Amino acid sequence: MLSRFILFSTALIFSTALISASLPDIKMADNGLSFREIEGYQDYKIVATHYRTDKKELRYILANPIALKALMAKKQPLPEGSKIVKVAWSIKPMATFPDALEADQIQRIEYMVKDSKRYNQNGDHWGYARYVKKGDNYVPYAKGSAECIACHASVSSDDYLFTSFQKTY
Ligand code: HEC
């Protein structure tokens, strides 16, 4: 009986660990932000969809519950603990209707986290991370976060965010 219980508990702990550690254990070299910082982001809500004509990429922007609330209420700056994730895909014609395009391969996942204790570059309290898809794996963006900070500074008056909440109704 006891051994069966131990076996069951071990299996439970093991499966919980597997579920909670689905993202690879990698981090950005320059600011230490890890991919696991956004563990579970697949459950965040999509707040905006963008298409980059130059890169021919579709981008979904997802927000955790803290960021979602602030974005919906148009409250800036976003509160501590806000996490905003961007998933970028290449596109392809749909096999069933080629005039329509659909998401094809994920190109990269990137995110911003609001953490004033860890990040304060030019008044900006966001930490930036990008993970580039290589085959079945992801690798931290080799050039680091300096260019993220520089380009997002152009929207400093909007809390360094290009995204605004897009209604679905
Ligand atoms: C040359 C300018 C530029 C650079 C460099 C840049 N971004 Fe952005 N970023 C944008 C633009 C424009 C958008 C909105 C359009 C889109 O979704 O692609 C955006 C959107 C985002 C979003 C969604 C929130 C928002 O602000 O709209 C995140 C998260 C993000 N970028 C992270 C990063 C990270 C991490 C890096 C660095 C590795 C980075 N960006 C580098 C221009 C830039």
The answer to whether 167 touches 45, Cβ cutoff 8 Å, is no
CATH code assigned at 138: 3.50.70.20
CA 143 to ligand 1 centroid distance, Å: 14
For residue 132, the enclosing domain spans 26-158
In a structure prediction context, what are the per-residue pLDDT tens digits for the chain, which is 169 residues long? 445 544 445 444 444 444 556 999 999 999 999 999 999 999 999 999 999 999 999 999 999 999 999 999 999 999 999 999 999 999 999 999 999 999 999 999 999 999 999 998 778 899 999 999 999 999 999 999 999 999 999 999 999 999 999 999 9
Residue 138 phi, psi dihedral angles, 5° rounding: -120, 145
CA 154 to ligand 1 centroid distance, Å: 11
User: What is the structure's pLDDT at 18?
Assistant: 46
**Which is nearest to 140 in space by CA: 125, 128, 154?**
128
In a domain, 168, yes or no: no
- Of ligand 1's atoms, which has the minimum distance to the CA of residue 85? 29
In a domain, 12, yes or no: no
Rg (CA), the chain: 19
User: What is the structure's pLDDT at 124?
Assistant: 87
Chain segment 80-97, per-residue pLDDT in tens: 999 999 999 999 999 999
In a domain, 123, yes or no: yes
In a domain, 124, yes or no: yes
- Of ligand 1's atoms, which has the minimum distance to the CA of residue 143? 38
CA 86 to ligand 1 centroid distance, Å: 8
Q: What is the DSSP string of 103-144?
A: EEEEEEEEEEEE-TTT--BTTB-EEEEEEEEETTEEEE-TT-
Q: Which pairs with CB-CB distance under 8 Å and at least 24 residues apart come from 58-62?
A: 58/88, 58/89, 58/91, 58/101, 58/103, 59/86, 59/87, 59/88, 59/89, 60/86, 60/87, 60/89, 61/85, 61/86, 61/163, 62/86, 62/87
In a domain, 2, yes or no: no
Q: Which of 151, 164, 166 to mutate to test the pocket of ligand 1 (most atoms within 8 A of CB)?
A: 151
| Number of domains forming the structure of the chain | 1
The whole-model pTM stands at 0.90
In a domain, 151, yes or no: yes
In a domain, 116, yes or no: yes
In a domain, 62, yes or no: yes
